[in-house]
Structure 1
Amino acid sequence: MKTILSNQTIDIPENVDITLKGRRVIVKGPRGTLGVTLGFGYNMRSVYAHFPTNVVIQENRSLVEIRNFLDEKYIRRVQVRTGVACSVSQAHKDELILEGNDIELVSNSAALIQQATTVKNKDIRKFLDGIYVSKKGTVQQADE
């Protein structure tokens, strides 16, 4: 059954501005026009069985270098999307933190990092090494 008309009432937070122009709605907040109040964050963990994988952030937090993956001498480089900040966690060992306002850019950057560490020509049930998403959430905690 099709819904012909529906109405919803939404509570607007204090520091968020909404502009209506015809059918277009523009929402602006303290973090910009996307992810206006909390932002989006992905935590990624480096998993390895024998050879410790080193993750280095270069070029103003926009390039991720993955070294010593499965004891390879080849350095895997992943360019993080613009608008996404990348950092290494101080609290947990081998954890990478991606933060940004656009959830598509943050999740795409996490996917690029995960795909850079895929194991080729080996049994993936045995070789589980790689960098995987361990947690998805917001940058700031919601006040409830």
Structure 2
Amino acid sequence: MVKSVHVVEEVEIPEGVKISIEGMKVVVEGPKGKIEKDFSHTRNVAISLSDGKVVVESYFARREQKALVGTIAAHIRNMITGVQKGYRYKLKIISSHFPISLEQKGDVILVKNFLGEKSPRKARIMPGVKVKIEKEDVIVEGLDIEAVGQTAANLEQATKVKEYDRRVFMDGIYIYEKGEAK
């Protein structure tokens, strides 16, 4: 069990982005909006602001704390990118025989007529995420990369084919592009 004396990760704060830290809660504000994330579940890790940088550090860190320092820094970088540019996932609707139709109702997307099923399948939309349905494409956009990715995954999982050979029954909704919104 070798401990590192001091593990530090610094994240630059770009122009136009404001970050405030209250204990272990990080709030990032930018031109597109605001994201909050609570890191209070972490132990032996400190988050602070100094000289236009966010400093994530840990003293006498074991392997878990070292990994946690890098993970928290990566989360903060993703939050900064989210409030500056946002994130976008594009999904394609694939259907061979039964035409799939999507309908958005509140925070749920209903997948109708999937493989000829009578009852619609449901995919949850995470808070803070916008979904656009355009003919054969579904565009999922938002500031928080985790919420956008989870919404896209919920759509993909809702149309997962079970008990059939997926090489033959390729119907479903599939992610084909993901990244920063342009």
TM-score under structure 1 length normalisation: 0.78
Does structure 1 residue 78 correspond to structure 2 residue 79?
no
Contact 2:27 2:34 in 1 (8 A): no
Which residue matches 2:148? 106
Q: CA RMSD in A?
A: 2.4
Q: Structure 1 pair 49/29, CA: closer, same or farther in 2 (3 Å)?
A: same
Which residue is 1:42 aligned to? Answer: 89
Deviation of residue 99 (structure 1)? 1.0
Please list the CA deviations of residues 37-94 of structure 1 after superposition, one character each: whole Å capped at 9, or x if unmatched: 01111111101111111011122xx2101111111112112221111111213xxx31
Counterpart in 2 of 1:53?
Answer: 100
Determine the C-alpha separation between the residues in 2 that align with 1:7 and 1:65: 43
Verify the 8 A CA contact 2:18 2:28 in the aligned structure 1: yes
Question: TM-score w.r.t. structure 2 length?
Answer: 0.63
**C-alpha displacement of 1:138:** 2.0
Between structures 1 and 2, the one with greater strand share: 2
Pair 1:51–1:3, CA change in 2 (3 A): farther
Q: Which residue number in structure 1 is paired with residue 133 of structure 2?
A: 88
The unaligned stretches of length 5 or more in structure 1 are none
The structure-2 alpha-carbon separation of the partners of 1:51 and 1:5, relative to structure 1 and needing over 3 Å to count, comes to: closer
Secondary structure in structure 2 of the residue aligned to 1:36: helix
TM-fit CA distance, 1:6 = 7.0
In 2, Cα distance between equivalents of 1:23 and 1:71? 49
Deviation, 1:113, is 1.0
Q: Name segments (4+ residues, structure 1) moved above 6 Å.
A: 2-9, 20-25
User: Higher relative CO (CA 8 A, sep ≥ 6), structure 1 or 2?
Assistant: 1
SS at match of 1:111: helix
Greater fraction helix? 2
Q: Aligned runs of 1:1-144 on 2, under 5 Å?
A: 10=12, 12-19=13-20, 26-30=27-31, 31-33=33-35, 34=79, 35-59=82-106, 62-89=107-134, 93-139=135-181, 141=182
Which ranges in structure 2 are unaligned for 5 or more consecutive residues?
Answer: 36-78
Maintained 8 Å contact 2:88/2:148: yes
